[in-house]
Amino acid sequence: MSTQQKSFSSNLGAILAAVGSAVGLGNIWRFPYITGKYGGGAFLLVYLCFVFLLGSVLMISELVIGRRTRRTPLGAYESLTRKGHSVVWRMFGWLCVLTCFFILSQYLVLSGWTTGYVWHSVSGALATLGTDSSIISGFFQQFSTGGWNPVWFMVIFSALVLVVILGGVQKGVELASKVLMPILVVLILVLCVRSLTLPGAMRGVEYLFSPDFSKLTGEGILAALGQALFSLSVGMGVMVVYGSYLPANDNIFKTAMWITACDTLIAILAGVAIFPAVFSCGFDPAGGPGLVFCVLPNVFNSMGTAGIVFSVVFFLLLLVAALTSAISLLECLTACTCETSRLKRWQGAGLFFLLATALGAVFTLSFSHLSEVKMAGLSLFDFVDRINSIYLPPICALCTVIFFGWVMPKEAMVDELSNHGTLRIGYLKVLRFIARFIAPLALLVVLIWGIFFAQ
Ligand code: TRP
């Protein structure tokens, strides 16, 4: 097994790539609606605590493990383990691969819909639907249950991801992030300005930020923790791979804090771009796919001709966010394949492109031709959604912090965080305390609650 020779060319490139992975569909539509649902500012407060206290610790753990070993999760955990336990941690590496694969396949479904909506907003089809909610919802219904039609959009999306991965680490992943992330920021700022200057916009801002502690239930607190981990893309080895590409002089603590801060800021901006417009146009905020695919087109159509432009801007934003996240998932899978087999990069990427796209097609078709197929009483998409939210990510995250806090040698951790003794690491005690005690406990609670109590 060889260690990787690849790396990002600059610290900024590394941060942008990791922020690209973190900022995804989870930020742009999931974060805003669950924030509204669980008490606005009150939820935000809890979310911020989780993101900076737990999420960033997981982020640091994965980056440290990756850069220390310069390997993917398949080799990294194993190589930092004392003899005798390596099989268990190698299996954990495989679990990370499986998790990435399932998340990518599910992600492709939503990304395919997003690609379709970019097309329908550019072609003007969405604009002709007017402002009748039932017509707009009907359009989404027809599109998502439209058999192979959404599948082709998904194939276009996956092909874009594949092209980037084939470009390599620096000329593919890093370059794409350097181009796409500034575009994403500009798009989101344009939408925020438009949304905030609409009449009655403040009601949306209030919905998002004014704290209502009565809505902050136990369920809301656990949702905040789950969202914090999902949003940062931590716990499934993707950041181990990106950590293995970090330049040797990179200050991991600082990088992790930047990634965490940027991811959170973009999630908040997404809320500011969406809710003031929703309220200003007199709509109710919805949850799930309904918000993005049913409510927002209506909002855009009520803005007149300018709405067409904003509709294109919004769906492009969503597409860019989904692209950089999907890129990181395919990169992780490709790197793992290349590390354990003799396959070349293009072969590994091609293999997982085919597998994930095929599974993504099955999940997309579970809304139409395969709607009769059930697993555990759920449609195939709902089944994988459950696995991807309740089981795999918390299990992987739990194993990651246990590895970081209890298994890997402390000297290796200190050496890596301090860049061989050249940086001060006054935060070490707090970091280790969280990684050893607080994070495992919190993750265990999330896991148990998810398995036994989530409907
Ligand atoms: N963070 C992504 C988002 O907010 C989703 C995600 C979860 C992800 N785990 C990941 C993306 C792993 C890339 C890799 O939408």
Query: pTM for this structure?
Result: 0.93
Whether residue 236 has its Cβ less than 6 Å from ligand 1:
yes
Report which residue type is found at 271: G
Taking the CA of residue 326 as reference, the ligand 1 atom at the shortest distance is 13
- Which whole number is the average pLDDT over 345-363? 95
Among the listed ranges 48-52, 131-135, 345-349, 434-438, which one has the minimum average pLDDT value? 131-135
Name the residue at shortest CA distance from atom 8 of ligand 1: 233
pLDDT at 119 over 80: yes
Mean of all residue pLDDT scores within the chain: 91
Contact 180, 161 (CB under 8 A): no
- Which whole number is the average pLDDT over 356-368? 95
Q: Cα(24)–Cα(286) distance, rounded to whole angstroms?
A: 19
- Find all residues with CB under 8 Å of 61, minimum gap 6, and list them: 400, 401, 403, 404, 435
CB-count burial class (<10 Å; 0-12, 13-18, 19+) for 267: buried
Among 439, 438, 54, 67, CA closest to 252? 67
Whether residue 329 has its Cβ less than 6 Å from ligand 1:
yes
pLDDT value of residue 163: 96
Whether residue 24 has its Cβ less than 6 Å from ligand 1:
yes
Question: Rounded to the nearest 10 degrees, how much is the dihedral formed by the CA atoms of 91, 93, 98, 99?
Answer: 120
Contact 107, 381 (CB under 8 A): no
pLDDT tier at 153, thresholds 50, 70, 90? very high
Distance 236 CA to ligand 1 centre (A): 9
pLDDT tier at 198, thresholds 50, 70, 90? confident
Distance 107 CA to ligand 1 centre (A): 9
pLDDT tier at 370, thresholds 50, 70, 90? confident
CB atoms within 10 A of CB 72: 30
Ligand 1 pocket test, candidate residues 51, 98, 109, 233, most atoms within 8 A of CB:
233
Distance 178 CA to ligand 1 centre (A): 18
Rg (CA), the chain: 21
Whether residue 318 has its Cβ less than 6 Å from ligand 1:
no
Distance 373 CA to ligand 1 centre (A): 27
Contact 176, 327 (CB under 8 A): yes
pLDDT tier at 5, thresholds 50, 70, 90? low
Taking the CA of residue 100 as reference, the ligand 1 atom at the shortest distance is 12
CB-count burial class (<10 Å; 0-12, 13-18, 19+) for 89: buried
Ligand 1 pocket test, candidate residues 107, 111, 242, most atoms within 8 A of CB:
107
**Tens digit of pLDDT for each residue in 164-193?**
999 998 999 999 999 999 999 998 998 899
Count how many Cα atoms sit within 13 Å of the Cα of residue 406 in the half-sphere of its side chain.
13
pLDDT value of residue 127: 86
Token representation of residue 338: 């290349």
Contact 158, 108 (CB under 8 A): yes
pLDDT value of residue 1: 42
- Which whole number is the average pLDDT over 368-379? 88
Token representation of residue 27: 């930020």
pLDDT value of residue 2: 43
Quick one: CA dihedral 294, 298, 20, 161, positive or negative?
A: positive
**Tens digit of pLDDT for each residue in 58-116?**
999 999 999 999 999 999 999 999 877 788 999 999 999 999 999 999 999 999 999 99
Contact 299, 282 (CB under 8 A): no
pLDDT at 228 over 90: yes
| Count, residues in the chain | 455
Whether residue 21 has its Cβ less than 6 Å from ligand 1:
yes
pLDDT at 308 over 60: yes
Quick one: CA dihedral 94, 15, 65, 253, positive or negative?
A: negative
- Which whole number is the average pLDDT over 256-284? 90
pLDDT tier at 455, thresholds 50, 70, 90? low
**Better-scored residue on pLDDT, 347 or 218:** 347
Ligand 1 pocket test, candidate residues 19, 325, 336, most atoms within 8 A of CB:
325
